[in-house]
Amino acid sequence: MKYTSQNADNLPRFVPNGDYLVTVIEASETLSKAGDDMIKLKLEVEGHGVHLYDYLVATEASFWKIDTFRKAIGDRVVEGEEVELAAAALEGRQGHARLRIEEYQGKKSNKVELWITDRVPTATLKATPPATAQAQPEVDDDVPF
């Protein structure tokens, strides 16, 4: 195979500030620097080939962010419900995020400013069963109405 080499540093590293559809292309369970459970998300900006990372940390101060991310990817979020979030189940999921540009050591990259919950892609909607099953009322099939 022959090809012409390109400098990988010239590939796009960021998109302009704005709202984008992103896909979780990798998700891994790890620990934060403080030792808390964390899911590291590798995201791809649809149609741009740009990759960025976001982190879901299991601390009470960050539960709002996890809930917002879950809503953005189409999960049903119920206040007070205990949730077991598996990294592997997040791969391939899509949601809209507001991205901003940050510069670190002279290089620009995108960061998730916020997850957008009012534009859930219909392809990612996931039916989440209720935490506890509700008893269904009995139906009398002989009632004529």
Number of domains in the chain: 1
Residue 7 lies in a domain: no
Using alpha carbons, select from 103, 102, 124 the residue that is nearest to residue 21: 124
What is the DSSP secondary structure assignment for residue 8, as one 8-state letter?
G
Average pLDDT score over residue span 103-113: 94
Residue 124 lies in a domain: no
Is residue 99 situated within a structural domain?
A: yes
**Which of these, 57, 69, 50, lies nearest to 120 by C-alpha position?**
69
- Banded model confidence at residue 9, pLDDT cuts 50, 70, 90: low
In a domain, 95, yes or no: yes
Considering the chain, what percentage of its residues have pLDDT values greater than 90?
70
* Cβ atoms 41, 54 nearer than 8 A: yes
> What is each CA distance from 99 to 35, 82, 106, in whole angstroms?
27, 29, 19
Torsional sign, CA 17, 23, 28, 29? positive
Q: In this structure, is residue 137 part of a structural domain?
A: no
Taking residues 112-122, what's their average pLDDT?
A: 88
Per-residue pLDDT tens digits for 38-52:
999 999 999 998 999
Query: Is residue 73 a contact partner of residue 89, using CB atoms and an 8 Å limit?
Result: no
Count Cβ neighbours within 10 Å for each residue of 43-75 and write b for 16 or more, e otherwise: bbbeeeebbbebebbeeeeeeebbbbbbbbbbb
Greater pLDDT, 12 or 124: 12
Global pTM reads 0.77
Q: Does any domain span residue 140?
A: no
In the prediction, which pLDDT does 19 show? 97
Range of the structural domain that residue 49 is part of: 18-115
Q: Is residue 130 part of a domain?
A: no
Question: Which residue type, as a one-letter code, is found at position 124?
Answer: T
**Confidence band of 120 (pLDDT split at 50, 70, 90):** confident
